[in-house]
Amino acid sequence: MALRDILVWPDPRLKQKGKPVLDVDATVRKLCDDLAETMYEANGVGLAAPQVGVLMNVIAMDVDQRAAEGEEPKKKGEGLFWLIDPVLKVGEGEFTYTEGCLSIPDEYEEVTRFGHIVVEYTDRDGKRKQKEATNTLLSVCVQHEMDHLQGKLFVDHLSALKRELIRRRMKKLKTQREAERKGEATAL
């Protein structure tokens, strides 16, 4: 397993669409493992391959590590699963949730999505499966990560003004990070 760099919006690569996987082989399973490791390292609950610059329809997800109020969180990895070539079979109703994104650090906004979903996908072992969720973090996360496969981010669901304010903060953050990297490189 290897950590991968997560692209930060407005990186133009985040607007590119993923390609179907079709065959789950050793390369795809390695990508699955890398996505999971990178997601956990960044304290996320979902990560799509396009967020690390790989244009494949692969998502790592573990929403069970974040317990609902009054519940014990599961151990890291217990709720981990992968969605390869996911297809939303049912999307109905509405559910509003405050979303964040590993590609848009420290920004959170309310987004309205389908409340009830059924998603069909291939798992890491190449088996076709289905998950259903209603008005939960899982239903939101599946839709959020599937958006990444289409080159769409949660800010695309916001008003132009909110999106532009966040874009400016992300550009500033990227400039700060690049300056820090250069400073670390010259210190070596």
Q: Which residues are catalytic?
A: 145
Nearest-angstrom CA–CA distance, 126 and 65: 24
Cis peptide leading into 10, omega within 30 of 0? Answer: yes
Taking the CB of residue 7, how many other CB atoms lie within 10 A of it?
16
Taken in order 10, 6, 140, 18, the sign of the CA dihedral is positive
> Residue 23 corresponds to which tokens in the numbers above?
């065959």
101, containing H or E segment: strand 95-101
Q: Residue type at 111? A: V
Q: DSSP class of residue 125?
A: T
